[in-house]
């Protein structure tokens, strides 16, 4: 931030403090503590303005990603740390889940929905001091497409191209109606970096340097200890500094000099650290700890539905590739029991693959095949399919107690005669193992809220799980190829219904995100993927 803007920001601090009110692109179906936390944060914002903020926020997180390269990494924690803070995109999401400009001034879709054009903002600086060009955008966006199977499947051979120094476009033989939301809210964000950075990859194909345009610069990652981001003093801000963020769009003040994400795998340790003052905010609070933290007058606590739990079958080989077997497993499972094992009370049942708050995409199509918990019917399906005791391997990580979900599933499936073997690993190992079809028949994961069903990774043929079914592909293509939102929504209903027959995954329900932070920490913006700290800080008095 330039000095002049910093002075202006300080003068307007009273207005900026109103940013503490929580906005969310994905509200829970029923009232949750998120509402009261938002009101509490808003009340805190009315306190007298300060002239300085604590230099560092210590944010306790329970996991780390294999890389912070967002183009090739779908890990939620990488997105929570890097998206919007270090990396920005052509467009981002407003509070209604619609795509709005971020690194572009404007964008337009042709009448036939087959050409999408972006006019870029001028004089946007990268963290290495260079100015963003159309060439940087084209190389970044095309690398994103190549690394993101869902985008690659949707776009085919279509790629971004430079029109002139301030304009880029993409043209396709099929509809690009849903592409702006895909760019704005995908699980593998369409981060814009320099063309040079895109060409410099490590032996695993990940970026060697994390060079973005955001209000924070990546400065350090000490494995298993912390990830550190520092304020970018030359940040090219956009939006009105006197107005709160609209979803993830708007003015980013970067009030705190350093954001340090402390990696604390044990949730009880991180919670104890918050209560003792070691940490300023904690991710992934367990439902067991919520009542105690909510009763603590020095803490703010919020919960909201933030994504979908997924049991992903291996459709390439083995038992998961057999339709009768997938149907039998789905028929047997008690979703309440397996979700309780991992989340306690921190979940909500629901057959829709999309999350609460996404009214345009919510449907109960296929619900007749959801949460059947019918072991007798499941045994019949196994017998008719010819199951003869072959081993069924469930791969699960210790992260967020997903291994406990696997234990509950094992018990339920063994009761109908399935020979179950558990493979319990850490999260990083799971993300490696799931690439190998010899390592599992089903693995357990979760997907954070996305604004459109076209971003559900498991519909991609190349995504681990490898759902390669002609009808599934036809229905997915019908949705992504629609020219109007109404046509896309109608196609989604058909796709959702068929999904509960074919079973690319089993969706047992939706998980709640629980967060707690010090009362004096204001300006947190809650969005579908969790808290953002661009306008947050602890005033020094």
Distance CA 389, CA 413 (A): 12
Q: 448 lies in a domain?
A: yes
- DSSP readout, 240-264? -TTS--BTTBS-----SSEEEEEE-
Report if residue 178 sits inside a domain.
no
pLDDT band at residue 51 under the 50/70/90 scheme: low
CA distance 158 to 513: 36
pLDDT in tens, 392-413: 999 999 988 899 999 999 999 9
Q: Can you spell out the DSSP letters for 413-457?
A: HHTTT-EEEEEEE-HHHHHHHTT-TTS-SEEEEEEE--SSGGG-G
Instruction: Quote the tokens at residue 296.
Output: 């603590």
The answer on pLDDT for 14 being more than 60 is: no
Averaged pLDDT for residues 316-337: 98
On whether the CB atoms of residues 346 and 514 are closer than 8 A, the answer is yes
The torsion angles phi and psi of 27, rounded to 5 degrees, stand at: -80, 150
Question: Using a CB cutoff of 8 Å and minimum separation of 24, what contacts does 455-458 make?
Answer: 455/150, 455/181, 455/182, 455/185, 455/186, 455/187, 456/150, 456/353, 457/74, 457/149, 457/150, 457/187, 458/310, 458/312, 458/504, 458/505
Instruction: Find the domain containing 472 and state its range.
Output: 305-511
What proportions of the chain, in percent to the nearest 5, are helix, strand and coil? 35, 25, 45
**pLDDT beyond 60 at 360:** yes
- Per-residue confidence at 17, pLDDT binned at 50, 70, 90? very low
**pLDDT value at residue 449:** 85
pLDDT tens-digit readout, 283-304: 988 888 999 999 999 999 998 8
Q: pLDDT category, 24, cuts 50, 70, 90?
A: very low
Please tell me the predicted confidence (pLDDT) of residue 494: 98
In the three-class reduction of DSSP (H, G, I as helix; E, B as strand; rest coil), residue 499 is classed as helix
Quick: pLDDT tens for 189-212: 999 999 999 999 999 999 999 999
Task: For residue 393, tell me if it sits in a domain.
Answer: yes
pLDDT level of residue 460 (50, 70, 90 thresholds): confident
Q: Would 476 be classed as within a structural domain?
A: yes
| Of 516, 488, 492, 112, the residue nearest 296 (C-alpha) | 516
What pLDDT score was predicted for residue 50?
47
What pLDDT does 457 receive?
Answer: 85
Which band of pLDDT confidence, cut at 50, 70 and 90, is reported for residue 232? very high
Asked if residue 67 is part of any domain, the answer here is no
Alpha helices in 202-343 (DSSP H): 267-276, 290-294, 323-332, 335-343
Length of the chain: 541
pLDDT of the residue at 358: 79
pLDDT tens digits along 487-522: 999 999 999 999 999 999 999 999 988 999 999 999
pLDDT-derived band at 173 (thresholds 50, 70, 90) equals very high
Q: What is the dihedral of CA 413, 415, 420, 422, to 10 degrees?
A: 80
Give a yes or no: residue 371 inside a domain: yes
The reported pLDDT for the residue numbered 15 is 35
Is the model more confident about 286 or about 434? 434
Q: Are 47 and 54 within 8 A, CB to CB?
A: no
**Residue pair 247/83 in contact by the 8 Å Cβ criterion:** no
Instruction: Provide the pLDDT confidence category of residue 1 given band limits of 50, 70 and 90.
Output: very low
pTM score above 0.85: no
pLDDT of residue 125: 98
Residue 528 lies in a domain: no
Can you give the pLDDT at residue 35?
30
d(CA 218, CA 359): 36
Window from 31-45, 348-362, 456-470 with minimum mean pLDDT: 31-45
Cα separation, 350 vs 373, in Å, equals 15
pLDDT score recorded for residue 73: 86
Radius of gyration of the chain (CA): 23
Pairing type for strands 258-263 and 226-231 reads antiparallel
pLDDT-based confidence at residue 5 (cuts at 50, 70, 90): very low
Reply yes or no on whether the pLDDT at 20 is more than 60.
Answer: no
- Cβ pair 404, 356 in contact under 8 A: no
314 contact partners, CB below 8 Å, separation of at least 6: 320, 321, 437, 440, 441, 442, 443, 465, 466
pLDDT of 63 > 60? The answer is yes
Domain-located, residue 275: no
CA-based nearest residue to 10, from 253, 312, 262: 253
Mean pLDDT of the chain: 89
26-46 pLDDT per residue, tens: 322 222 222 333 333 333 433
Which of 123-127, 132-136, 242-246 comes out lowest in average pLDDT? Answer: 242-246
pLDDT given for residue 32 in this prediction: 28
User: What are 441's two structure tokens?
Assistant: 């028949």
Q: What percent of the chain clears pLDDT 90, i.e. is strictly above it?
A: 73
CATH of the domain at 441: 3.10.105.10
**Overall domain count for the chain:** 1
Q: Is 221 helix (H, G, I), strand (E, B) or coil?
A: strand
Q: What percent of the chain has pLDDT over 70?
A: 91
């Amino acid at each position: 931030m330039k000095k002049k803007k910093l002075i202006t920001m300080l003068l307007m601090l009273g207005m900026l403090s109103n940013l503490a009110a929580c906005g969310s692109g994905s509200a829970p179906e029923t009232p949750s503590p998120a509402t009261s936390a938002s009101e509490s944060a808003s009340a805190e914002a009315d306190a007298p303005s300060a002239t300085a903020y604590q230099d560092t926020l210590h944010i306790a997180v329970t996991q780390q990603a294999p890389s912070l390269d967002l183009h090739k990494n779908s890990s939620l924690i990488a997105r929570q740390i890097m998206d919007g803070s270090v990396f920005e995109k052509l467009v981002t999401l407003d509070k209604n889940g619609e795509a709005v400009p971020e690194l572009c001034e404007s964008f337009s879709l042709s009448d036939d929905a087959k050409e999408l054009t972006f006019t870029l903002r001028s004089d946007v600086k990268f963290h290495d001091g260079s100015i963003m060009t159309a060439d940087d955008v084209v190389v970044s966006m095309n690398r994103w497409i190549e690394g993101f199977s869902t985008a690659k499947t949707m776009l085919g051979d279509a790629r971004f191209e430079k029109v002139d120094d301030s304009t880029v476009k993409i043209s396709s033989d099929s509809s690009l109606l849903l592409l702006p939301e895909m760019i704005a809210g995908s699980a593998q964000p369409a981060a814009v970096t320099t063309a040079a950075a895109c060409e410099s990859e490590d032996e695993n194909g990940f970026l060697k340097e994390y060079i973005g345009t955001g209000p924070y610069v990546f400065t350090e990652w000490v494995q298993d200890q912390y990830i550190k981001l520092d304020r970018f003093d030359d940040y090219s801000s956009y939006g009105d500094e006197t107005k709160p963020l609209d979803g993830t769009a708007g003015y980013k003040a970067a009030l705190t000099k350093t954001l340090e994400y402390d990696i604390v795998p044990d949730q009880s340790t991180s919670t104890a650290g918050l209560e003792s003052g070691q940490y300023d905010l904690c991710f992934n609070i367990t439902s067991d700890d919520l009542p105690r933290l909510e009763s603590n007058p020095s803490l703010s606590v919020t919960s909201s539905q933030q994504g979908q739990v997924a049991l992903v079958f291996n459709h390439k080989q083995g038992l998961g590739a057999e339709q009768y077997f997938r149907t039998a497993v789905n028929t047997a499972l008690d979703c309440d029991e397996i979700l309780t094992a991992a989340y306690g009370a921190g979940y909500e049942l629901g057959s829709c693959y999309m999350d609460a708050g996404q009214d345009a995409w919510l449907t109960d199509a296929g619900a007749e095949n959801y949460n059947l918990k019918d072991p007798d019917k499941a045994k019949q399906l196994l017998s008719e399919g010819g199951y003869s005791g072959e081993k069924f391997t469930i791969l699960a990580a210790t992260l967020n107690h997903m291994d406990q979900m696997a234990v509950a599933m094992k018990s339920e499936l063994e009761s109908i005669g399935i020979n179950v073997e558990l493979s319990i690993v850490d999260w990083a190992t799971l993300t490696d193992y799931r690439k190998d079809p010899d390592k599992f028949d089903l693995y357990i994961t979760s997907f954070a809220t996305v604004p459109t069903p076209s971003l559900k990774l498991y519909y991609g043929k190349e995504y681990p799980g490898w759902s390669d079914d002609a009808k599934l592909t036809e229905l997915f293509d019908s949705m992504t190829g629609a020219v109007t939102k109404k046509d896309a929504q109608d196609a989604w209903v058909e796709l959702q219904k068929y999904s509960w027959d074919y079973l690319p995954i089993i969706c047992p329900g939706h998980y709640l995100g629980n967060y707690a932070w010090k009362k004096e920490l204001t300006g947190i913006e809650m969005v579908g993927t969790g808290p953002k700290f661009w306008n947050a800080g602890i005033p020094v008095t």
